[in-house]
């Protein structure tokens, strides 16, 4: 042995890992030939776990602390090696450091829209987005199931699989919840809890735990959002007559300020006044109930088989029930033509005999016996 070899052999070997990244889950300690000196110092910091692997087998697991690697600290490794000299010579072993802190702000989101049936809008497509946090809780399981012999394992290598698990369970829970689209924003917290509980066992099978999952947004397709915006705008406008008069006045002001001037101004003002008078007459004219329904658009949403129905039976309100259930009650005589029925498409309770969708159902049922 040369002088340099002797001098370097006197130094105490130090095994530690100081992580300055924010995405490393597992790091394999590099040592030439995997040789570790007998009596080496192993430092495991808080939020770390060190795993020794000898000849492909997990030998020992060290939690936070400082350890001197001797026979009494390596009972499993000593048994595996079976050395008669008590590990007094350098031994070969791989050391993996696992980062057990929380990894936060990991993103998840639906690649394709989730199809579901809404009680108000019918079939709709929704997209969901959010964040989640994970932590390594079983280093040995995580190594066997996911990491393998990867020397530098980062979150990017597993987030795609975790995101797929979240999205799959999210779609299932959203479809089963039956929550109306307009009420979803008020239920983000509950949805987050349901999804977390659903996916936690699958994360544990990987040696991970989902410490937090948040649903940040559930969005509708642009076309549906535009329709909702128009409905909201009509609610803000209030009186349609006042709004139309205001629009007519604005149009006349714009025509009067037209730099073309002359005849164009007169024509523009004349047309503007004519349009304003026509609209005022139209709005001032008395309207029937059907006219108001046409203005509100409700004549386009008549009760159909897809609706949920409420029905009066023996003076009590029952529902919601499906159309099939309502049809069965008509055929059994429990619901008659005089029974009151209501759905979201109807302004008020209506006798069942006057609901168009039930015409074919009542046609199969004989009319009531005449009074004697």
Cut 0.75: pTM above it: no
The reported pLDDT for the residue numbered 28 is 92
First to last CA, the chain: 126
Contact 237, 243 (CB under 8 A): yes
Mean pLDDT by 10 residues, the chain (372 residues): 44 77 91 70 93 84 87 55 48 86 93 83 87 96 92 93 92 84 87 91 95 91 76 61 66 67 50 54 50 45 72 85 86 86 85 85 76 65
DSSP letter for each residue of 147-186: ITT-SEEEGGGTHHHHHHHHHHHHHHHHHHH---GGGGGG
Q: What strand order describes the sheet that includes 48-54?
A: 57-62, 48-54, 94-99, 24-28, 152-154
The reported pLDDT for the residue numbered 302 is 59
The reported pLDDT for the residue numbered 366 is 77
Please choose, from the candidates 202, 108, 217, the residue with its C-alpha nearest in 3D space to the C-alpha of residue 155: 108
The reported pLDDT for the residue numbered 231 is 66
The reported pLDDT for the residue numbered 275 is 55
Please choose, from the candidates 30, 165, 162, the residue with its C-alpha nearest in 3D space to the C-alpha of residue 94: 30
């Amino acid at each position: 042995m040369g002088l340099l070899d002797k001098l370097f052999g006197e130094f105490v070997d130090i095994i530690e890992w100081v992580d300055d990244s924010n995405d490393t889950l597992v790091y394999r300690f590099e040592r030439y030939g995997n040789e570790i000196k007998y009596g080496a110092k192993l430092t495991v910091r808080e939020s770390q776990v060190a795993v020794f692997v000898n000849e492909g087998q997990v030998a020992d697991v060290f939690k936070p602390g400082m350890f001197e690697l001797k026979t009494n600290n390596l009972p499993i490794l000593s048994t595996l090696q079976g050395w008669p000299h008590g590990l007094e010579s350098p031994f070969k072993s791989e050391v993996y450091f696992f980062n057990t802190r929380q990894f936060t702000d990991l993103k998840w989101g639906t690649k394709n829209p989730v199809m579901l049936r809404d009680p108000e809008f019918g079939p709709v497509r929704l997209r969901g987005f959010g964040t989640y946090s994970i932590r390594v809780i079983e280093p040995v399981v995580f190594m066997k199931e996911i990491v393998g012999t990867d020397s530098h394992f980062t979150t990017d290598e597993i987030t795609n699989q975790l995101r797929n698990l979240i999205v799959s369970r999210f779609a299932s829970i959203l479809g089963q919840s039956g929550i109306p689209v307009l009420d979803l924003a008020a239920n983000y917290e509950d949805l987050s809890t349901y999804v977390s509980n659903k996916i936690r066992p699958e994360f544990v099978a990987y040696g991970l735990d989902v410490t937090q999952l948040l649903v940040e947004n559930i969005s509708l397709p642009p076309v549906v959002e535009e329709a909702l915006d128009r409905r909201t705008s009509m609610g803000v406008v209030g009186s349609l007559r006042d709004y139309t008069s205001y629009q007519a006045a604005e149009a006349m002001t714009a025509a009067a300020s037209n730099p073309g001037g002359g005849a164009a101004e007169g024509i523009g003002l004349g047309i503007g006044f004519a349009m304003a008078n026509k609209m005022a007459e139209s709005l001032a004219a008395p309207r029937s109930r059907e006219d108001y329904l046409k203005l509100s658009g409700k004549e386009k949403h008549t009760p159909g088989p897809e609706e949920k129905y409420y029905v009066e039976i023996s003076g009590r309100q029952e529902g919601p029930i499906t159309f099939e259930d309502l049809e069965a009650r008509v055929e059994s005589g429990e619901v008659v033509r005089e029974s009151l029925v209501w759905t979201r498409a109807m302004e008020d309770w209506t006798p069942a005999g006057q609901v168009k969708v039930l015409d074919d159902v009542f046609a199969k049922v004989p009319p009531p016996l005449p009074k004697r």
